[in-house]
Amino acid sequence: MTVIDKNKPVLVTGASGYVAGWIVKSLLDKGLTVHAAVRNPEARDKLRFLDLLADNAPGTIRYFKSDLLEQGSYDEAMEGCELVYHTASPFTLDVHDPQKDLVDPAKLGTRNVLETANRSHSVKRVVVTSSCAAIYGDNIDAEKVAGGIFTEDIWNTSSSLDHGAYSYSKTLAEKEAWSISEKQSSWDLVVVNPSLVLGPAVNPLAVTSESFRLVRQMGDGTMKAGVPMMGWGVIDVRDLADIHYQAGFVPGAGGRYIASGHNTTYFELVRALHNKFGENYPLPKKELPKWLIWLIGPMLNKALTRRFVTRNIGYKWKGDNSKSIRELHAAYRPLSETMIDMFQQLIDNKII
């Protein structure tokens, strides 16, 4: 049982990110002091949205300059913190060198942050934002698991540097976290494994997360011919922030938590937009046959390799979120609310 003192500051790594923005907001709204670790605290434009959150909440924010690949750069940010949220990790599918661009910052960065926790005299709990990508690599992997449902007991064994490098980076990073945590007893580790995160951003003009590209392409005409028949797990970014809050403060929280509100498909995501936006935006209206995507996919998108198409298109996705509901009181809002709020935000900010 770990009780966190709410008068102590809380560290959030990668505080400028899409997922972290809502975590920071939830901490500030509850009156906590947030130590926001970012690569460049001088980038005032990029961080203005965090300042705004703090101006409108009882909590306080302080910025620290930290880089996942710079040893010791989290020391100052972690000083006095009992709780650390480690969210920083590159989430992009467009990389030149997967080892350097994804695996190193994910794995070595996790080691850097957790070794800082080992040196600190204050940290009692670390919450790592992993991913369902550390549980499965391709949708076809469901065929090898009981009932075709992904649970917290399962690990991704199908990704590699050449295939699903982002998922590989998250798998190695989470394994590193467990390995470091098992060798010490001064803090406990709680891991959140979100599925695809969607919903509005607190910083809509500065998002880098891959989540945004996906929804933007539904509305900008890129996908007007149709979408692949493919299953996804999806969680709203606001629900994910609540789950992180509970993962930090529920005394008995422990182990991994699948954070996923809906077992859904690409087409169901689009369908949630049809009523409100169908008339004015070139939303996809159908699912494309697998053979067509296999044929032209690699020309349209680097990530749609033949191997990816073979192992993912045509397969559904099912995850078990019951542990998050039972132990972290997770509540998942309807998919339509997530999609409509996110799409509307893209329109309001002239992104589509």
Q: How many degrees, rounded to 5, is the angle at CA 342 between CA 298 and CA 40?
A: 80
Among 26, 33, 89, 139, binds ligand NAP (CB under 6 A): 89
- Is residue 133 helix, strand or coil? helix
DSSP 262: E
Q: Which stretch binds ligand NAP (CB under 6 A): 65-73, 221-229, 280-288, 329-337?
A: 65-73
Nearer Cβ to ligand NAP (172/290): 172
Smallest distance from ligand NAP to CB 113, Å = 10
When asked if residue 26 is in the footprint of ligand NAP (CB under 6 A), the reply is no
With CB under 6 A as the rule, give the number of residues binding ligand NAP.
Answer: 27
Please, is 81 exposed, middle or buried when counting C-beta atoms within 10 Å of its C-beta (0-12, 13-18, 19+)? buried
Which residue number places its CB atom closest to ligand NAP? 17
Among 16, 33, 116, 181, which residue sits at the site for ligand NAP (rule: CB under 6 A)?
A: 16
- Nearest to 92, CA basis, from 81, 103, 77: 103
Q: How many Cβ atoms are within 10 Å of 305's Cβ, its own excluded? A: 16
Q: Choose between 244 and 290: whose C-beta lies nearer to ligand NAP.
A: 244
252 vs 239: CA distance, rounded Å:
20
Q: What is the rounded CA–CA span in Å between residue 208 and residue 18?
A: 8
Regarding 105 and contact with ligand NAP (CB under 6 A), the answer is: yes
Which of 85, 91, 245, 281 binds ligand NAP (CB under 6 A)? It is 91
Nearest distance, CB of residue 337 and ligand NAP, angstroms: 17
129 versus 324: smaller Cβ distance to ligand NAP: 129
Q: How many CA atoms lie within 13 A of 65 on its CB side?
A: 5
State which of residues 208, 222, 301, 336 lies at the interface with ligand NAP (CB under 6 A). 208
CB 92 to ligand NAP: min, Å:
7
What gap in Å lies between CA 325 and CA 317, rounded to an integer? Answer: 19
Q: Which stretch binds ligand NAP (CB under 6 A): 4-12, 157-165, 181-189, 193-201?
A: 193-201
With beta carbons less than 8 A apart as the criterion, state whether 201 and 207 touch.
Answer: yes
Rule CB under 6 A: say whether 197 interacts with ligand NAP. Answer: yes
The separation between CA 89 and the C-alpha centre of its own chain, rounded to angstroms, equals 9
| The two three-digit tokens of residue 302, written as one number | 């680097």
By the criterion CB under 6 A, which residues form the site for ligand NAP?
Answer: 14, 16-20, 38-39, 67-69, 87-91, 105, 129, 131, 170, 194, 196-197, 207-209, 211
